Structures are given as C-alpha cells and as structure tokens.
Amino acid sequence: MAHLNLDLRQVARCRELARKIASPVEKLIDTHTTVAIERATLRLLGVNGAIVRGGQHFPEANAIVEDLHKAGALAEGVLPAFVNGMIQKKMTAPELGAAVASRKIDLLKLPKASDAEVKAKARELCEKAKQLIIDRREQRDAIRKEAGDTFDASGKNGPLLYVIVATGNIYDDVIQARAAAQAGADAIAVIRSTAQSLLDYVPHGATTEGFGGTYATQENFRIMREALDDESLKLGRYIRLTNYCSGLCMTEIAALGAIERLDFLLNDAMYGILFRDINMKRTLIDQHFSRRIIALSRIVIHTGEDNYLTTADAIENGHQVLASQFINERFASHAHMTEDLMGLGHAQEMNPEHPNVFLLEIARAQMTRDIFPKSPIKFMPPTRYKCGDIFYSHLMDAMFNFVGVLTGQTIQLLGMMTEAMHTPLLQDRYAAIRNAKYIFGGAKDLGQEITYKPGGTIEKWAAKVLQETLDHLEMIDRKGLFKAIEEKAFAEVKRTETGGKGHDGVIVRAPGYLNPFFEVL
C-alpha cells in the first residue's frame, strides 16, 4: 500500500499533546458519576424492565435513580442502597428493581447491612455481569466464525460496505437490512429516531413509529441481531450490526449493545457536545464508562469527527478533524480500548468544484490511514454539496468510493444518490452497493501499484494539514479542552462548561462511592 512521507516527530508530538489535553478531563472522570452511569449499572445487573408512567413505558432504572437523586443519595452511587435492598429483601436485581420503581419498596427506609457485606455482594453482582458480557461476546464471535468473517481493522481486505436503514419501524428495517445484505452489504447501521440522543431515558420494547430513524431499544437490538444472524448464516458471510451510542444515554446503550451482541457503536462525546448541545462534563464522563463496557465486549466504536465538516469548511478546517482524532484516540486508550476497536471517523466533504479536490481528498484519507494504521477507519460519504441531481450525486459517491479503496479505508459508509431528497429506498441502496462493488473490485490493488510523488501536491497538502493539526493541539493545550470548545475550536460551534443538556445529572462522588464495575471492567 502506498504511504505518505509524514513527519513522524510531528505525529508523536500530536499524541503527546492529546495526552496532556485529556489529562484534566480524566481526573474529572475519576471524581464524578452521572445519573446515566448509575442507570447503566442497574441495567448491567438485570434491571431492564419498565413501569407505566404518564401513559407510556418508563424504564425502571430511570425511576430508581431519579428517586435516589432527588433524595440526595446518589453521590455514593446507586449500588449501596440497591444491593442493601437485595440483601434485606432477599430478592434478585430484576425483582427488586420492579418493586422499587413502582415505589412498593423505599430503599432508603430499609435496615442496613454492614458495609463489608454490601461491598462483597456488589462485587459478586458486577463480576456476574462482566461474565454475561463475555459470554455474549463469545456467542457473537462464534456466529462470526460459523458464517465466515474476513474483517480486518487495518483495511487490508478492502473497505467494508456499510449502509443505513432508517424506516422508523424496526420490522420494516429488518426487511431493508436483509435486502441490503443480499445485495452485498457487509454492515447495517440502524439510524436512530431524530433527537433520541436528547432523551434522558431509553425507550422500551419494539418500536414502529420513529421519525427519520428507529428508536434504539434493547428489543429492537435483539430483533435486528436475530435477523442478521439468520441472514449471515444463509449468505455464508457475517453481517455486522451498528447503532448509535451517543447522547444522554450512551452508557445504557453501551450496556444493551453488549448484551445484544452488536458489532459497531457510534460512540463519541464530542458529537453530542457540538451538535446536540449536551453538557461537556456529562457526556465526557458518560463516554468513559460506556467505553469500558465496549472494550470488554470488543465492539468497534465509530467517532464523529466527520460531522465537523458539515458546519466548517473542509478545506480550511480539515485539521480540526485530525486534532479531534488524536484526542479521541487518547480517551479511548484511557478506557482500555485497543487500537483495533477505535473506528476513527473522517469524511469526504470538500467543495467538488475546488481545483484538484481529489488530490486533497486523497491526501486527507491517506494520512488518516497512515497515522492510525491499526484502527478500523470509518470513511463517510459526501453530503454537504449534494443536491437533487441524482446522477451527479451518484458520480460523487463513485469518486468517494475510489478514494476509499485507493487509500485502504476499513469501513466505507456508502452514499445514496437520493439522500439530499428523501430517506433512500431499496433501489437506491442497491445502486449504491453495486457502485461500490464495481469500484472496490476493479481497483482492489491500485494502492499497491502506485507511490505518491515526493514533494507533490498530495504530500504537500498532507504536510500542511499535519502542521495545522499540531498548531491546533498546541492552542488547545494552552487553553484547556473546555475553554477551547467554548472558543469554537471544533466545527465553528461554541459550547460552555456549565451549559447544555444533562448538566444537572453530573454528581461529585462521595468518599464512600461504590461501583465495582470500574475495577472489574
């Protein structure tokens, strides 16, 4: 594979700066919890039911944590009170969860077992939950092996054909996902209903009325995973399942995704901060716990840097993407994720009328591949400059596919010729897959046949972007990540440290805080 002549000293310095930038946030993570982390803790113990409140299903985990938070009893975590309740009432976690959520039992009015007994019981429950995640991971891996799986994080087997379904109805999604797999897709992403990331609870059960996508729920995960397992075995190749693990419930989605054997999760705090106005402390703390779960399950994350180029010019601000990738890599490493699980994201979003635009796109794609050689890079299609001309859109997607196979991308989200007009139909997805298969097959080994001209346009552009990335990280290091975000360091979007949704769900840990998951994960 062709490589660029990058300054490796600059790359190393970028990583060192990312470590320094992340360090204060890591200290924040170690001293705080959130309502979402405590809810995810209950879910991992098996509290995944729902009660009827206000005419709709409301998760038991939310009801329990909400009541403890209102009583000012969450600084020690949900486990001291809940585990004590299990001991006193001799009930399983699901049984006690149902009783406490419906307010038949008040955890704060029960007699108290000794701290040692509560800690021992909590550790036992967390170890059991850890084993469940491992069992589910092994079950998933066994199906991969049986069906046949050639996925390689480094991209040497060519980009995975990655497509979306977004009907709003999980049962219709299954039909479209099966059709896409039969047409050649390797991975299916089930798009979430619009703004689900802003809900501070996970909807319950199978859903059929999403808007612009289908709600991410445990039952929806189960339904789609079962369908894709069946399709994988029929086709003789494993089909991966993706969903969204960002927003106010990212910790819970991580837990449910691990339990229901997902393969990929879009997991990135920066996306929520910038594009959903979620409080930066809340989502960065949540992200760490979610990634601890994801790391154990060996789910590949996808980060959201590609979105920066939908609000900031891709030619002038491409370095912001690389800077964020370095920071995201550091946060993932702090959560014990290995490089082959870090699906860092970037996109082809430069103005198509810019002179030599494909040379610049090749430079950006190749430098991403070269700087993160062990990571399963996710390459996103052009969207910003698409319009109602479906033929031009299809051509843009073809050139995007060409850049992807040339530079050895791992995961290629296929563009749809009608995505600027409506939610793509079955035939649009078929056309996109056929387009990609033609180019991926026809140019499969092109990257092995060429080299980049020393001092040429591609190499010079890559060097320029790397220098700008280094300068950007130096600036963020001087100001601190939170202050830099406040001053529009990424995507031309301003956020504040205490603003945004979910800030009231951030809690300083008390000295007696208990959550063995931070150790056993």
How does pLDDT run across 467-476, given as a tens digit for each residue?
999 999 999 9
Q: Which of 65-69, 157-161, 292-296 has the lowest mean pLDDT?
A: 157-161
Q: Which of 50-59, 179-188, 457-466 has the lowest mean pLDDT?
A: 50-59
CB-based contact 465:363 (threshold 8 Å): yes
> What secondary structure letter does DSSP report for 492?
T
Decide: pTM greater than 0.85: yes
The residue type of 154 is: S
Tokens of 447: 């990257």
Closest CA to 114 of 93, 135, 140, 88: 88
Question: For 340-497, where are the alpha helices, taking DSSP H only?
Answer: 357-371, 390-406, 426-442, 446-449, 457-479, 481-486
The CA-based angle 427-193-138, given to 5 degrees, is 85
Q: pLDDT category, 1, cuts 50, 70, 90? A: confident
Asked whether residue 158 carries a pLDDT value surpassing 90, the answer given is: no
The angle, 0 to 180 degrees and rounded to 10, between the axes of the packed helices 280-297 and 115-147 is 60
Asked whether residue 368 carries a pLDDT value surpassing 90, the answer given is: yes
pLDDT of residue 353: 95
CB-based contact 398:435 (threshold 8 Å): yes
For 6-35, how does the pLDDT look when each residue is reduced to its tens digit (9 = 90+)?
999 999 999 999 999 999 999 999 999 999
Q: pLDDT category, 154, cuts 50, 70, 90? A: confident
Contacts of 63 by beta carbon, 8 Å cutoff, 6+ apart: 51, 53, 100, 101, 102
Contacts of 460 by beta carbon, 8 Å cutoff, 6+ apart: none
pLDDT of residue 194: 93
Calpha distance 453→290 (Å, rounded):
43
Contacts of 181 by beta carbon, 8 Å cutoff, 6+ apart: 188, 228, 231, 232, 235, 239
CB-based contact 231:239 (threshold 8 Å): yes
Calpha distance 144→304 (Å, rounded):
26
Percent residues over pLDDT 70 in the chain: 100
Calpha distance 507→155 (Å, rounded):
41
CB-based contact 299:263 (threshold 8 Å): yes
Residue with tokens 């995975």: 160
Calpha distance 80→64 (Å, rounded):
13
Percent residues over pLDDT 90 in the chain: 95
Q: pLDDT category, 421, cuts 50, 70, 90? A: confident
Asked whether residue 227 carries a pLDDT value surpassing 80, the answer given is: yes
Quick one: three-class SS letters along 157-179?
CCCEEEEEECCCCHHHHHHHHHH
Catalytic residue among 281, 378, 386, 501: 378
* H/E element, 321: helix 314-334
Counting DSSP H helices and E strands in the chain, the numbers are 19, 13
Asked whether residue 419 carries a pLDDT value surpassing 90, the answer given is: no
pLDDT of residue 234: 98
Asked whether residue 292 carries a pLDDT value surpassing 90, the answer given is: yes
Active site residue 201: no
Q: List phi, psi (to 5°) of 53.
A: -140, 125
Averaged pLDDT for residues 56-63: 95
Active site residue 271: yes
Closest CA to 125 of 516, 519, 521: 516
Catalytic residue among 215, 238, 271, 513: 271
CB-based contact 43:503 (threshold 8 Å): no
E strand intervals along 50-94: 50-53, 56-59
* H/E element, 135: helix 115-147
pLDDT of residue 144: 97
Asked whether residue 426 carries a pLDDT value surpassing 90, the answer given is: no
Catalytic residue among 67, 268, 286, 306: 306
Asked whether residue 484 carries a pLDDT value surpassing 80, the answer given is: yes
